[in-house]
Structure 1
Amino acid sequence: MTEKPMASRQSLTDWKDEMREELDRALAREERLRAAWREERRRKLANRNEQSTIVDPARRKGNA
């Protein structure tokens, strides 16, 4: 088998660089989605807790 010419090595290097950039973009996108999901979850839980603190005292008085 013959050695690959430099042009092929350069194109392989370019391809690897492109794949790394694509992977970096995908990982960054995943992290943004996870952060958005966590923020949405935090807001929903905070909203639920806020509502329960408003409702709970009335329930406690009724049950006491």
Structure 2
Amino acid sequence: MTKLEQIEKSVESLSKDELKEFAAWFAELQAERWDRQIEEDVAAGKLDRFAEEALAELKSGRTRPL
């Protein structure tokens, strides 16, 4: 049995309350990893092009308030 299969089996056996707690924990884990990835991408300059495009659109008047 693979590690993933073991995890799936364990999750399936959780009670309703345990599953709710696990889901909240997992959502937080995903959010933390997403934040870390964004921070790494920003530091590496991977998002610079998008920022430049957005600022150019703003300066040219091709934007509107939300």
Q: Normalising to structure 2: TM-score of the pair?
A: 0.47
Q: Which structure has the greater CA radius of gyration?
A: 1
TM-score with structure 1 length normalisation?
0.49
Task: Report which structure shows greater RCO (CA 8 Å, sep ≥6).
Answer: 2
